[in-house]
Amino acid sequence: MTVTGPNGCTATASTTVTGSTTPPTASLTNDGPLSCNKPSVTLTASGGESYQFQSGITANGSSATVTTAGVYSVTVIGTNGCSQVASTTLTDDSQPIAITQQPANVSLTTGQTARFSASASGSALSYQWQLDAGSGFVDLTNDATYAGVNSATLSVANTTTALSGNSYRVVITSGACSVTSTAASLTVNPLLTDLSPILYTQPFVLYGSGQLSVVVDVVELNGVASQGLITLKITQDAKLSLSLPANATSVGGRVVTNGVWQLSGPQNGYYTLTTSEPVAAGNRLSVGLVGQFSAGSSSGELTVSGTLVGGSGGEQKATNNIDADKIKYFQQ
């Protein structure tokens, strides 16, 4: 530049200005990939004096932590104020598992086998069933009670009431990924008495009029003694009149215990026999009736049936509570 003084004289002066417009060498790296064992990854920027990560990322200086796969970027600012953008791609190598069927609660009777099942989406799945008997979940191993501890279905055999209240769950694994099912409970109900009647008539064929006998064995099938009132109904027929020989010990050639039974009726088409005598576990309690049959002027077939009233002796199974026998008769 030229400078003019007050005396009119001039002089020329100059200076040299230097500067840099070179952008920084920006870099952004990640220590991924993401996996089940590594759910978060650190992004690290370098090459500048300050760093501005993309919107939505919380940074701490030159680094930031992220938890999802994708492309991430950072603006690197150099000491000269120039900037450069760097980016990095984060991948996810985890193989997520989704349970599609949770194990369900099981309720059954002593001695039955309980089964718990679970299913999941994913590849190369492995299973480990666990038990919580009141002190927290522990891994199961196959033994006399448990089978399939490393499969999709756990079997619990020979259940007893001691197992009632146990909880079961399964840990499903694929590679480094795993997921735990919800817990399912086991309820084991005690075995109840099961009574069933077996009815016999004698003779099988009658001509005209004659004596016949009806004997019913009330049999206990579950190995549990009965408790409470037992009610047995015998069908009524106009051609047949039945009675209970009190205290008889044999009817129709079969052993009976008539002294503990009471007979009422007939009423509403039935004779009713009752007793409060327990049927011993796996044993029987028998009763015998005798009667006079009159065929009259007809021939045909007479069906005599015996039905245990539901709940008799404390039982709850009613599908085996009926038995019957047939008598053929002819006019004489």
Q: Are residues 103 and 217 in the same domain?
A: no
Percent helix, strand and coil across the chain, each rounded to 5?
A: 5, 50, 45
Q: What is the pLDDT of residue 19?
A: 60
In a shared domain, residues 2 and 124: no
Q: 226 with 322, same domain?
A: yes
Buried b (16+ CB within 10 A) or exposed e, 253-290: eeebbbeebebeebeeebbbbbbebbbeeeebbbbbbb
Tens digits of residue pLDDT in 54-68: 988 989 999 999 999
pLDDT tens figures, 227-280: 999 999 999 999 999 999 999 999 999 999 999 999 999 999 999 999 999 999
The pLDDT > 70 percentage for the chain reads: 97
The arrangement of strands across the sheet holding 209-220 comes to: 195-202, 209-220, 284-294, 240-243
147: pLDDT strictly greater than 80: yes
Domain endpoint, select from 70, 93, 116 = 93
CA–centroid distance for 54 within its chain: 49
pLDDT of residue 17: 58
pTM of the model: 0.59
Q: Which whole number is the average pLDDT over 33-51? A: 92
Look at the block and give the residue holding tokens 């190369």.
124
Q: Which of 55, 53, 49, 1 is nearest to 25 (CA)?
A: 49
pLDDT given at position 1: 65
Helices (H), strands (E): how many in the chain?
0, 32
CB-count burial class (<10 Å; 0-12, 13-18, 19+) for 198: middle
Q: Provide the token pair at 183.
A: 């817990």
Q: Tell me which residue of 234, 221, 209 sits closest to 298, measured CA to CA.
A: 209
User: How do residues 152-181 score in pLDDT, each as one tens digit?
Assistant: 999 999 999 999 999 999 999 988 889 999
Out of 168, 189, 210, pick the residue that ends a domain.
189
User: What is the extent of the structural domain holding 121?
Assistant: 98-189
The residue among 62, 93, 124 that closes a domain is 93
Does residue 258 sit in helix, strand or coil?
helix
312 and 247 in one domain? yes
Q: Residue 4, Cα to own-chain centre: how many angstroms?
A: 104
pLDDT score, position 16:
66
Q: pLDDT band for position 187 (50/70/90)?
A: very high
Do residue 48 and residue 123 come from a single domain? no
| 174 touches 195 (CB < 8 A) | no
Pairing of strands 41-46, 63-66: antiparallel
Q: Calculate Rg over the CA atoms of the chain.
A: 45
Question: Per-residue pLDDT tens for 274-288?
Answer: 999 999 999 999 999
Does residue 260 share a domain with residue 157?
no
User: Residues 6 or more apart from 250 whose CB is under 8 A from it?
Assistant: 256, 288
Whether residue 200 sits in one domain with residue 319? yes
